[in-house]
Structure 1
C-alpha cells in the first residue's frame, strides 16, 4: 500500500486520502476508497478531544450540517468550530467507520493548543484546525506572517487553463463519474497527492506558517495509530497535508516542533450548523461558494440537472412566478447545450444560472438572486441529539424551546406575540432574558398590526455562534432565569450612569426578573439621588416610564418603579428651567431632545386615571408650568422657547391667540435673526411641523412676514437653519406651503349666493369653505357604511350644510 495516496493489493502502509473539505466528489471518492481498502481504523483531521464524541454521529437525531465546538473552559469566548456537512468527506468517513465497527481517531493539533494561541498572539477562530488547502484565511495575520498565501486549487486550475478554480474543481472532481466497476478507487487520490507534492516542493508551506506544527502532531498520532492498529489505516485529511504526512521524519524532530506550545483546558461538543455558515462569504476559511448545490450533487441519486431545475421551478412557483413544466424541460436542454459547447462534462451552476435567467426569468436577474439565497447557499439548520455534552444553561434553553414550541431555525422569520396569552408571554420572557444574557436569538422590531403594548414583534434567526454565547453565559447560572437574574444584579452594581440603570430596570421588567428588580431599584435610587445633571435625569426618565407602562400590561407590580419615576420627573421639573439659559447651539440641540423625551414620558406617566393614579393630572399641570417658564424666558435659546411653545400648543395649554402672541414676540424686529430662526426650527421643526403651517395660515403669515423682513446681511446666516427645518417636511407639504405663500393672504371662502360668510374657525383661516368640506361626504359615507349596510337615508348630521360639521372635526 502506497503512503502517497494510492496502493495496489499489497499492504505496505497507511492510505492517505487527500480531500477538499465539504466537497461531494471527495466524499463519494472517500467512501469508495474505504469500501475498497476496508481499513482497521480511520484517522480524520480534527481535534483529538473529540474522539469520545464520534459515536454520536450515528445517533438517529443527528442531522448535519453540524460542527464540533471547542472552547476554553475558563474563557468560553475563546472557541473554534470544525463544521461538517452531509457531503463532507470527514463526515462520510466517520459514518462509514461507525457502520462497519471501525475505530475513529482525530489527529489534528489538539484544541487545547489551538485555543491557547501561538507566540504571535494568534488565537483559534472559525476554521482553525480545518483550514482547507487552497483557501485564503479570513482576517489579517500579525507581524511575521507570510505576505502571500498560495491557493493550491487556483494554481492547479490556472495550470489546466481555467480562470475559475471552482469551475475547474467541479469539472475534474464534482462532476466526475464513479469510474465504473473494477476501477481503482485510490487512483484519484494518488494523482492529487502528486500534484500537491509538486506544489509543496515549490511553495513550501505556502504561507500557512502554523501547518508545520499541525502536521508534526498528525505524524505523531499516525505513528501511535500504527502501533495500535497496524499499517492497515486510512487517513482522511486536507490534500495540502498529504505530502507532509508521507514525509519521513523522526519522532524527536516532530516532538521538538510541539515543545512549549501554550495550553488551556478545553471542552468539546457537537452544535448545529447551517449551510449559510459553510459559505465562503460568511468568512469561514474553508468555506465553499455553493453549499446547497453541493448538497444536491451529493444526495441526488441520478439526473442532477433535471432534479435541480425541478427544485428551482418549485421555489419560483412559491414566489408567484409563472413557471411550468415546459420551462423546466427547455431549461434542461439549454443548460446541457451550454455545457456541451463549453466542453464541460456536466452542466454546472454557471450553465444552470444562464438557463434559468433565459427561460424562467425572461432575461432578468431577479429569480437568480432568489435561487442563490434559498437553494445555491440554502438555509438548512442541523440538529444535535440531547445526549451531546452541553452546559446546563444550554439544556435549560432547549427545554424552554420545547415547552414554548419555539424551534430554532436558520431562516429569518418574524414572530408576532400577544402578551395576553400565556404561551406568547412565556416566549417573550425567554427572548428578553436571552437578550439580557447577550444571546440575541431574537431582535425586537416594530409591530405592524398594532401599536398596543400587549403586542410584540420579534425577528428570529438562530446562528451557530450563539452556542458560544450560551457557553459564555453559563457562568451566570444553570437556568435562564437564574443566569439572567445574576447578570442583571451584576450590571446594576457596575453601571456608571443613571440611564444605564433605568434601561436595565426596563429590561428586568420585560424579562420578568422579580429577584433582580429590587437590586436594580436600589441602584437606581442611589444614583438618582446623587446625580444632579438634569440632562442625565431627563435621559433616564423615558426608559423608567416605559417600564411602568409595561409593568401594567404584564401584570407586574410596578408601584416602586412609579414612585421612582415620579420623583425623577419632579427633579427634572425643578432643574430644567435653570439649565436652559445660556446654552450654545449644540447644548440647545441636546436639551431639545431631553425636552421632547420628558414631555413624552410625562404624557405616559400622567395619563388621567383618578381611581388608580390621581396624581397624573397634577403631574401634567406642573409640566405645563415648566414649559411656560421656558417659552417666556428671553435668555433661553430660541430653539428651546419655540419647542416649548409647540408642546404647549399641542396639549391645548395655550389659549386663543397664545401661539400667535409668543410667535410675534419671538419674530419681532428686535430679536436677532438667528435666534428667531432657531425659534421657528423649534416650533415647526420635525415632520409634523409643516402640517401645522398648512392648516393655520395665520402662523404661516407670521413666519412669511418675518422672513421677508430679515435684513440682507442676516439672511445668509438664517438660511441654513430654515433649510434644515423645511427639508424635513414631505414633498407634498412643501409644495402646499409654496402654493399658499404664492397665493398670498387667504381670500374669502366660496359659498352659495345669498349666504353669509362663515365664521372663522380657530386654526383654519378666516372661514370654512363649505364646497370643499362637502366633497368629503361620499368618502365619509363609505367609511361609516351608510347606505351600504341597510342604514337607510343619511342621518340628519350628514344632511346639514358643511359648516355644521365643524364639530365633527374637533
Structure 2
C-alpha cells in the first residue's frame, strides 16, 4: 500500500489512488484539488466499464446532475443496477475534470454484465455476513457516537487544498511538489486508516469485493501500460488497500475465472436527491443530500447561506421569518458548535437553530425544511442523445408534446376530457398504467364527479425507467405496447372480472385495436361462467366502460350486448344466491347487490338500454326485500334501494320495517336489517331524520331488545350509526330527547309515542342519574329524591 499511494503523494509520481466517500462534498473538493495538483495523464473511476461510451455525455450542456448510470439485462430489463451521481459526488467531479482537460477517463469496476449475472445467481434468502461500516468504525475510534458528525468534522468542514483551480500552473518544481503533497495528504491519511481496518476486518463481510478489486487491479495495470504511472484512480476508500496491494496478474485472473455473464445495455437516467438519501432504500450512504449539495456549492459562509435558504422557504409558506431571525439562527448555530467542540456548525447545529428560532420550537414547520432543503427535491436531466429504448423515446416525445414534465414531487392534475390536450394526457396516463408504469394514479376529483373530469396524482420516480425498459418488450411506442399487452392479458385471463376490468382499461386508454380481442375473451368467459357472484362483479365495470365509451365517442355496441346479457343472467341468478348465507357472505353479496343496482342505472341511462331491464331489476329487488329466507342485511338494502328510486311506497317501507323488527324476529337478524336499510346507502341518517315513523319503529324495537341480547346487536348498530355525519347523529339525538311530535297519530287513530318517548318524566330513572350529575358538577349534596 505504501509503495503505491505513499510514493505518489510524496514524490509527485503516480499512480494516485484517491479513496473517497461516495456522494461526499468534502471528498469531491479534495479530488478536484488532487487532480489539479497532480495533473494525471488518465483518470480511472469506480464504475461499470460498459459505460465508457457514455462518459462524453457528462459534458453535454443538457446533462444536469443528479443522474445515474442504469444498466439492465437485455433479456430481463427488471434485472438492473444504478450508479447514481450528484454534482457533489467525487466520481462526477473527476469525470468532469477529465473531460474539461481532454484527459482520458474510464470506468474500471467489475463489468455490469458480470455483476447483474451474479446478482441473479444469488438467492435473496441467502444469509449474508454482517457488513461493517468503515466510517462508523473510524468515528467510534475517534470517540464519536455519530459517524455523520465525525465525517463532517474531519472532511466536510476541512478547508480545501491550496490548488483547487485547475487552471493554476506553477513555474517551480518544488512548489508544485509541495502543492501535490498538500492536496494528496488527506488521501494518504484515509488510506492508512482503511489499511488498518482491512487488516482487522478482512473483506468486511463482502466476499464479492475480492472479485471486483481483482478486476480493478487488472484495469489499473492496463492503464499504466498505456499511459504510464501518472494515472489517478477515484474509488471508494474501502478499496484503496486492495488496489495498492502487490498481487500477480495470474492470481487476479484466477479470481475472475468462470464468472457468469449476461448481455446488458447502459444509459444515463435522471436521478433525484430524495433517491440519494439512505432511507429511500438505495443505500447511497447519505441522509442529507440537499445539505451536502449546499456545502459543495457554498464557496464561503455556508451557515449564513443555509439560514437564508431556510428563511426563504418558510416565508414562502407564510411563516413570519425576518432578517433578525436569520441573524439569531446563525449566532445560535455557531454557539452550539462551540459548545459541542465542533470546528464549524454542522447539520445538527443548523437544524437545532432553525427549530428554535425560525420554527419557535415546533417540529411541524421543521419537517418542511427537512423535506425541501435537507433532503431536497432536485431532479436531474439527461440529454436527448443518451441511449434509450424506443419506448422511452416515444414516451419522452409524448411528455413534451403534452407538456407533462416528469417531476419528483407529488402533484395533482385535473383534466377536462372535452379538451383535446387533456384527453390525450388521460390516454397516455391510462396506457402507462396498463404497462405497469405507475407515473400517475387516478383520484377522486375535487371539482366535479362527471364523466368529463379526471384527476390524477403524479410523481415520477427514477425506477420507472426500469419499468419503461421492461415494457419495451411489448412495442416501440406507448400505444402499440399497451395494445399488445392488453391483447396478451385478454388471452391469458381466467376470471371474468379480470377481462371486464381490462375492457374498461382499453376504453379509458383508447386502444381500439385491442378491443376485438378483449371483447371475444369477454364473451367467452361470460358464456362459461355460471357463478352469479362473478357476474355481479363483472357488470359494474362493463357499465362504466359503456359510459366512458360515450364520453370518448367509441363504438361500444358489442360491449353493450355483452352487458345486457350479463344483466339478464344476474336478474335470474341473484335471488337464489341470496339465501343460506353466513354473516360475511351476506355482507359481501349485499355490496354486490348495491354495485349491480348502480350498474343497471348506468345501463338504463345509456343511449339504447335493454327493453324491460328496469322492470326486471325492480322485480328482483321486491323479491329480495320480501323473502324471509334472504339475509336481513340484503332485505334491508333492497328495500332501501327501492325506496330511494321511488319504487316503494313509504307505507310499504314502514310495513317491511315493522315486520323485520317484530318481536318474533331474532335481535341479530333485526339489527342486520337495520344496517342494510339505513347503513351504507347514501343519506340513511337523513331518512330517519325526516321520517319519524321509521325512527319510532326503530326506537320501539331497540327498547324491547332483552338485556342479555343487547350486547350481541350493539356492534351492528354502532357500525351503522357511526357512519353518519356528526350533524346527522346530533339531530337524531335531539329527536329522541324531544320525544314525539304532538298529534302524530298512527293509522289506527291513536296518538302513540314511540317507546322510549314516554308521555311524562320517569322520576325513578331521573333520580338514579342525579348522584352522578352531582359528582360531575362537584356538588356533594345528597339526592333530593325529586326530579325537576
* TM-score, normalised via structure 1 length: 0.87
Counterpart contact for 1:5–1:189, Cα < 8 Å? no
Q: Give the structure 2 partner of residue 126 of structure 1.
A: none
How far apart are 1:342 and its partner, in Å? 2.1
- Counterpart CA distance in 1 for 2:720 and 2:104 is 74
- Counterpart CA distance in 2 for 1:634 and 1:592 is 15
Q: Give the structure 2 partner of residue 636 of structure 1.
A: 630
Counterpart contact for 2:79–2:120, Cα < 8 Å? no
Q: Give the structure 2 partner of residue 71 of structure 1.
A: 72
Is structure 2 residue 645 aligned with structure 1 residue 651?
yes
How far apart are 1:361 and its partner, in Å? 1.1
- Counterpart CA distance in 2 for 1:386 and 1:176 is 38
Counterpart contact for 2:643–2:650, Cα < 8 Å? no
- Structure 1 residues 409 and 719: CA distance shift in structure 2, 3 A: closer
SS of aligned partner of 1:269: strand
- Structure 1 residues 286 and 712: CA distance shift in structure 2, 3 A: closer
Q: Give the structure 1 partner of residue 489 of structure 2.
A: 491
Is structure 2 residue 666 aligned with structure 1 residue 672?
yes
Give CA-to-partner distance per residue, 1:676-696, whole Å, 9 cap, x none.
222112111226322221221
- Counterpart CA distance in 2 for 1:330 and 1:727 is 50
Counterpart contact for 1:72–1:266, Cα < 8 Å? yes
Give CA-to-partner distance per residue, 1:87-111, whole Å, 9 cap, x none.
0000000111111111111111111
Please, which of 242, 248, 268 is the counterpart of residue 250 of structure 1? 248
Q: Give the structure 2 partner of residue 743 of structure 1.
A: 738
Please, which of 116, 137, 145 is the counterpart of residue 163 of structure 1? 145
Q: Give the structure 2 partner of residue 457 of structure 1.
A: 455
What are the within-5 Å matches in structure 2 for residues 373-412 of structure 1?
Answer: 373-412=371-410
- Counterpart CA distance in 2 for 1:150 and 1:681 is 59
How far apart are 1:118 and its partner, in Å? 5.7
- Counterpart CA distance in 2 for 1:411 and 1:119 is 32
Counterpart contact for 2:30–2:161, Cα < 8 Å? no
- Counterpart CA distance in 2 for 1:259 and 1:436 is 43
- Counterpart CA distance in 1 for 2:120 and 2:630 is 61
Q: Give the structure 2 partner of residue 45 of structure 1.
A: 46
Give CA-to-partner distance per residue, 1:38-66, whole Å, 9 cap, x none.
11111110011111111111111111000
How far apart are 1:438 and its partner, in Å? 0.6
Q: Which runs of 5+ in 1 are unaligned?
A: 124-140, 750-756, 760-764, 767-810
Counterpart contact for 2:88–2:296, Cα < 8 Å? yes
Counterpart contact for 2:73–2:265, Cα < 8 Å? yes
Paired positions, count = 731
Give CA-to-partner distance per residue, 1:678-732, whole Å, 9 cap, x none.
2112111226322221221101111122223334454443333333323333344
Give CA-to-partner distance per residue, 1:628-663, whole Å, 9 cap, x none.
011111211111111111111111111240101111
- Counterpart CA distance in 2 for 1:724 and 1:359 is 47
What are the within-5 Å matches in structure 2 for residues 565-584 of structure 1?
Answer: 565-584=563-582
Counterpart contact for 2:621–2:642, Cα < 8 Å? yes
Q: Give the structure 1 partner of residue 166 of structure 2.
A: none
SS of aligned partner of 1:234: strand
Counterpart contact for 1:118–1:261, Cα < 8 Å? no
- Counterpart CA distance in 2 for 1:722 and 1:418 is 42
Is structure 2 residue 686 aligned with structure 1 residue 691?
yes
How far apart are 1:402 and its partner, in Å? 1.0
Q: Give the structure 2 partner of residue 708 of structure 1.
A: 703
SS of aligned partner of 2:5: coil
Counterpart contact for 1:66–1:271, Cα < 8 Å? yes
- Structure 1 residues 543 and 102: CA distance shift in structure 2, 3 A: same
SS of aligned partner of 1:604: helix
Q: Give the structure 2 partner of residue 210 of structure 1.
A: 208
- Counterpart CA distance in 2 for 1:289 and 1:453 is 44
Counterpart contact for 1:2–1:14, Cα < 8 Å? no
Q: Which runs of 5+ in 2 are unaligned?
A: 164-177, 748-752, 755-788
How far apart are 1:318 and its partner, in Å? 0.8
- Counterpart CA distance in 2 for 1:661 and 1:293 is 71
- Counterpart CA distance in 2 for 1:715 and 1:356 is 56
- Counterpart CA distance in 1 for 2:162 and 2:431 is 57
SS of aligned partner of 1:657: helix
SS of aligned partner of 1:7: helix
Q: Give the structure 2 partner of residue 20 of structure 1.
A: 21
Q: Give the structure 1 partner of residue 199 of structure 2.
A: 201
Give CA-to-partner distance per residue, 1:133-162, whole Å, 9 cap, x none.
xxxxxxxx623x21x321111111111121
* Higher mean C-alpha displacement, 552-561 vs 455-464: 552-561
Counterpart contact for 1:197–1:243, Cα < 8 Å? yes
- Counterpart CA distance in 1 for 2:701 and 2:335 is 75
- Counterpart CA distance in 1 for 2:464 and 2:108 is 27
Please, which of 619, 626, 630 is the counterpart of residue 613 of structure 2? 619
- Counterpart CA distance in 1 for 2:729 and 2:713 is 18
How far apart are 1:311 and its partner, in Å? 1.1
What are the within-5 Å matches in structure 2 for residues 508-519 of structure 1?
Answer: 508-519=506-517
* Higher mean C-alpha displacement, 181-190 vs 571-580: 181-190
What are the within-5 Å matches in structure 2 for residues 787-806 of structure 1?
Answer: none
Q: Give the structure 2 partner of residue 89 of structure 1.
A: 90
Please, which of 322, 326, 338 is the counterpart of residue 340 of structure 1? 338
Give CA-to-partner distance per residue, 1:274-329, whole Å, 9 cap, x none.
00000001012233111011111111222211111111111111100111222212
SS of aligned partner of 2:345: coil
- Counterpart CA distance in 2 for 1:217 and 1:64 is 28
What are the within-5 Å matches in structure 2 for residues 14-163 of structure 1?
Answer: 14-117=15-118, 121-122=122-123, 142-143=126-127, 145-146=128-129, 148-163=130-145
* Higher mean C-alpha displacement, 680-689 vs 644-653: 680-689
- Structure 1 residues 735 and 93: CA distance shift in structure 2, 3 A: same
* TM-score, normalised via structure 2 length: 0.90
- Structure 1 residues 614 and 221: CA distance shift in structure 2, 3 A: closer
Provide the alpha-carbon RMSD of the alignment: 2.1
How far apart are 1:449 and its partner, in Å? 1.1
- Counterpart CA distance in 2 for 1:715 and 1:11 is 91
Counterpart contact for 2:46–2:235, Cα < 8 Å? yes
How far apart are 1:348 and its partner, in Å? 1.0
How far apart are 1:418 and its partner, in Å? 0.9
How far apart are 1:739 and its partner, in Å? 3.4
Counterpart contact for 2:6–2:188, Cα < 8 Å? yes
- Counterpart CA distance in 1 for 2:448 and 2:292 is 43
Is structure 2 residue 264 aligned with structure 1 residue 266?
yes
Q: Give the structure 1 partner of residue 356 of structure 2.
A: 358
How far apart are 1:559 and its partner, in Å? 2.1
Counterpart contact for 1:23–1:89, Cα < 8 Å? yes
Segments of 4+ in structure 1 off by > 6 A? none
Give CA-to-partner distance per residue, 1:230-255, whole Å, 9 cap, x none.
11100000000000111111111111
How far apart are 1:738 and its partner, in Å? 3.2
Counterpart contact for 1:505–1:521, Cα < 8 Å? yes
- Counterpart CA distance in 2 for 1:357 and 1:41 is 47
- Counterpart CA distance in 1 for 2:25 and 2:123 is 32
- Counterpart CA distance in 1 for 2:234 and 2:214 is 16
- Counterpart CA distance in 1 for 2:44 and 2:123 is 27
- Counterpart CA distance in 2 for 1:726 and 1:464 is 46
What are the within-5 Å matches in structure 2 for residues 169-188 of structure 1?
Answer: 169-180=151-162, 183=179, 184-188=182-186
- Structure 1 residues 8 and 683: CA distance shift in structure 2, 3 A: closer
